[in-house]
Amino acid sequence: MSRRGAWLLGVGIAAVLLLAAGIWLWQSSNSPATAEDTATAYLHALESGDANAVDSTGPGISDEAAAAFSGATAYIANGSVGGVDQRGNTATVDVSFQLDGETRSATLTLTREDVGWRIDSSGLGTLTAVPDAGAFVAVGDAVFAADDGIPLLPARYPLLAAPDDLLDGTASVAVLPGESVAAELDVELRDAATDAAQAALDEHLEACTAKGGEQPAGCGIRIPWGTEFREVSDVSYRIETLPSLALSRTGFTAGGGVLVATVTGTGQDGAARTTTYRTDSWMVRGDATFTETAIALTVW
């Protein structure tokens, strides 16, 4: 064979080898992720604090859980995959990681789907927060109803009684994959809660006295016009002092109000009559509840 022929043969063989290597690399890079690959991706995403990346591995998280995760105070570190037990389209993967400097372990359950392996709810933990006042808690950067099991990504979370501008209560809790944890929260009323309740009561009582006519319910107004009037055509109210409110965790009392009511109508004798009544002990009471952002009063 001539030198040129040998050279062309060598070039051809090299091209075939390069083509084969390229096909192998392409197949390798495009092969479906294994259960171990998915578990590893899940751990790396948790370490980075990337909720979207974690969700892409399958656990399924709500927008609220993602917001809570963004406000976590500590993420896992040094995650590693241990044993993998695959049986058909189901696999369990043992993982370990550190949180708060302590080594933890968990077992993830994965299912093979058309898009690859997906981690189920074993990739989430469940938090039940129990505040002794209020009905909501802030977890990280999200607010949830208290006493409900909250699915969260593994991390350490700050807990606050909500709304935190009215209630003072904090705690910290670690949420782990596949585990449930309960956290009790000692709550105190802030001064701002009383201020907000007083403002809400003032608005309610001013609405009570804005119109004349029948004595409004839930306003603490009791005028003894029945013994003097056969018929009432108008009632005009004047607030001299609004009742001062004292707030508890679940209710309130308010007293010391001064209210003047001028009643116009027909007296028992059939003649036109106008009488002014005054009370220096106007008081109301009722229930107090906290929403996600405010306080709500129910006046008896």
Pair 294, 171: CB distance under 8 Å: no
- Find all residues with CB under 8 Å of 274, minimum gap 6, and list them: 262, 263, 264
Answer yes or no: is pLDDT of 15 > 50: no
Question: Mean pLDDT throughout 40-62?
Answer: 97
Q: What is the pLDDT of residue 2?
A: 55
Name the residue with tokens 């590893």: 40
Region 35-188: CATH code = 3.10.450
The domain limits of the chain are 35-188, 191-299
pTM of the entire predicted model: 0.80
**Percent of the chain clearing pLDDT 70 (strictly above):** 89
Pair 247, 269: CB distance under 8 Å: no
pLDDT tens-digit series, residues 252-288: 999 999 999 999 999 999 999 999 999 999 999 999 9
Of the candidate ranges 69-78, 207-216, 234-243, 252-261, the one whose mean pLDDT is the lowest: 207-216
Answer yes or no: is pLDDT of 14 > 60: no
> What does the DSSP 8-state code read for residue 32?
P
Consecutive H or E run containing 93: strand 90-99
Of the candidate ranges 2-16, 194-208, 236-250, the one whose mean pLDDT is the lowest: 2-16
pLDDT tens-digit series, residues 136-162: 999 999 999 998 899 999 999 999 999
pLDDT tens-digit series, residues 16-45: 444 444 433 333 345 679 999 999 999 999
If DSSP states are collapsed to H, E and C, what string results for 171-212? EEEEECCCCEEEEEECCEECHHHHHHHHHHHHHHHHHHCCCC
Neighbour-count burial of 16, counting CB atoms closer than 10 A to its CB (0-12 exposed, 13-18 middle, 19+ buried): exposed
**3-state SS assignment for residue 59:** coil
